[in-house]
Amino acid sequence: MTTTTASSSKVQTFEIAVLPGDGIGIDVTREALRVLDAVAASLNGVAFVCTEYPAGAGEFVRHGNPLPAATLEACGNADAVLLGAMGLPDVRWPDGKEMTPQLDLRDRFQLYCGLRPIRLFHERDSPLKNLRAGEIDMMIVRESTEGLFSARLSHSDSEKGEVCDVMRITREGSERVCRAAFREAMKRRRICTLVDKANVLPSMVYFRSVFDEVAREFPEVEARHCYVDAAALYLVQRPGSFDVLVTENMFGDILSDLAAGLVGGMGMAPSADIGENCAVFQPSHGTAPDIAGQGIANPVAAILSMAMMLEWLDDPRTRAAAARVRNAVECALTDPAIRTPDVGGELTTSGMTAAILAAL
């Protein structure tokens, strides 16, 4: 399916590859496109050509490949990729692992910089007491091409009664993600915290040494270190003290779910995976098979991920559109009744989007 959204005939066109994927990925991508349509209608001289491509566990069941070559090629050619979520617990490779084409995209296009913004929109959304809206406002920068996740592609022979997953940390991978984190910090409160386990793991000692080198390039930013176990504690005890956190792949995976839990859950947590020439925008959540197809998934994370895409396209008009979408979400969420069931409300997926569109 291809849809074009334009407001005039002479326009700058952005090609968006849309991969709804599986489960609630399909439900929430539809809503992100509704908001993109609405915001694009008021943009002069900018058009979005959104073309849907198959990928995911469902696609594997239908045609035998979770990431068809044509989809991969389209992602490489597009200006940006908008992704829902992928994988289903019942659809697995013979070795027992789930289908994860979204991770294959990160490897294929070297999407090393996983941006996971976490913001508390309303005090009632947090399980923590005595917080005000906006008091939690951090950016987790997750290295997304190496770390412990790189072990997923290695072969292990459990017949021998021992399996090892290797934490792969390279100078190139560490330098580029640390630089990206410091650049994020420059746009924010200028505090960049490395989350590691440098008291135990040699890979993390190396990661820290590279972080410290990169820190010297950014004297305006306060560079801090925190062990990952302590970071989990401080995220709960004093989340407002964090600005930008940078960490390896697996720690980032775990801490970004924890941080999402502080602001209302996975449905409130957008994300972007950025490389040098390609970027994928998707909610931080998975396919949530427990609620898929029921019309109750929270579309906020997907809509905010779409806003991150508008920001990244780096045209003054799309950046302004991104700000409009973020403001509309923020404005809609000031009313605690405007919520889907995961955050204690009663709205449907489509009703939640309607409230955001009204604010837009």
* Binding status of residue 305 toward ligand ATP by CB under 6 A: no
CA 46 to chain centre: 25
In the sheet where 244-247 sits, what is the strand order?
2-6, 46-52, 12-21, 80-85, 279-281, 272-274, 113-119, 137-143, 244-247, 191-196, 222-227
In this complex, which beta carbon is closest to ligand ATP, that of residue 191 or of residue 258? 258
Asked if 318 and 329 count as a contact pair (C-beta separation under 8 A), the reply is: no
* Binding status of residue 285 toward ligand ATP by CB under 6 A: yes
Nearest distance from residue 199's CB to ligand ATP, in Å? 28
* Binding status of residue 57 toward ligand ATP by CB under 6 A: no
With CB under 6 A as the contact rule, the residue among 287, 305, 318, 353 that binds ligand ATP is 287
* Binding status of residue 290 toward ligand ATP by CB under 6 A: yes
With CB under 6 A as the contact rule, the residue among 291, 332, 333, 338 that binds ligand ATP is 291
With CB under 6 A as the contact rule, the residue among 298, 305, 318, 353 that binds ligand ATP is 298
Site string for ligand ATP, 73-92 (x = CB under 6 A): --------------x-----
With CB under 6 A as the contact rule, the residue among 19, 280, 288, 359 that binds ligand ATP is 288
Nearest distance from residue 297's CB to ligand ATP, in Å? 4
Nearest distance from residue 269's CB to ligand ATP, in Å? 9
The string over 133-152, giving b where at least 16 C-beta atoms fall within 10 Å of a residue's C-beta and e elsewhere, is: beebbbbbbbbbbbbbbbbe
Name the residue among 6, 17, 71, 79 with its Cα closest to residue 312: 79
Tokens of 74: 């389209």
* Binding status of residue 33 toward ligand ATP by CB under 6 A: no
Q: What share of the chain is helix, strand, coil (3-state, %, to 5)?
A: 45, 20, 35
Applying CB under 6 A, the span of 4-12, 217-225, 234-242, 296-304 interacting with ligand ATP comes to: 296-304
Q: How far apart are CA 268 and CA 285, in angstroms?
A: 9
Pseudo-torsion of CA 128, 299, 246, 194, nearest 10°? 0
With CB under 6 A as the contact rule, the residue among 43, 306, 342, 352 that binds ligand ATP is 342
Name the residue among 271, 282, 296 with its Cα closest to residue 56: 282
Residues linked to residue 119 through DSSP beta bridges, in sequence order: 137
Applying CB under 6 A, the span of 117-125, 128-136, 179-187, 295-303 interacting with ligand ATP comes to: 295-303
Nearest distance from residue 298's CB to ligand ATP, in Å? 3
Q: How far apart are CA 258 and CA 150, in angstroms?
A: 22
* Binding status of residue 256 toward ligand ATP by CB under 6 A: no
* Binding status of residue 117 toward ligand ATP by CB under 6 A: no
First to last CA, the chain: 26
Name the residue among 134, 142, 126, 85 with its Cα closest to residue 260: 126
Q: Considering Cα of 95, then 90, then 1, then 52, what sign does the dihedral take?
A: negative
Asked if 252 and 177 count as a contact pair (C-beta separation under 8 A), the reply is: no
Nearest distance from residue 304's CB to ligand ATP, in Å? 11
Applying CB under 6 A, the span of 106-114, 178-186, 202-210, 265-273 interacting with ligand ATP comes to: 265-273
* Binding status of residue 125 toward ligand ATP by CB under 6 A: no
* Binding status of residue 101 toward ligand ATP by CB under 6 A: no
Asked if 191 and 225 count as a contact pair (C-beta separation under 8 A), the reply is: no
Q: How far apart are CA 80 and CA 105, in angstroms?
A: 12
Asked if 245 and 139 count as a contact pair (C-beta separation under 8 A), the reply is: yes
Number of residues this chain uses to bind ligand ATP (CB under 6 A)? 16
* Binding status of residue 145 toward ligand ATP by CB under 6 A: no
In this complex, which beta carbon is closest to ligand ATP, that of residue 88 or of residue 226? 88
Site string for ligand ATP, 12-31 (x = CB under 6 A): ------------x---x---
Applying CB under 6 A, the span of 76-84, 117-125, 157-165, 262-270 interacting with ligand ATP comes to: 262-270
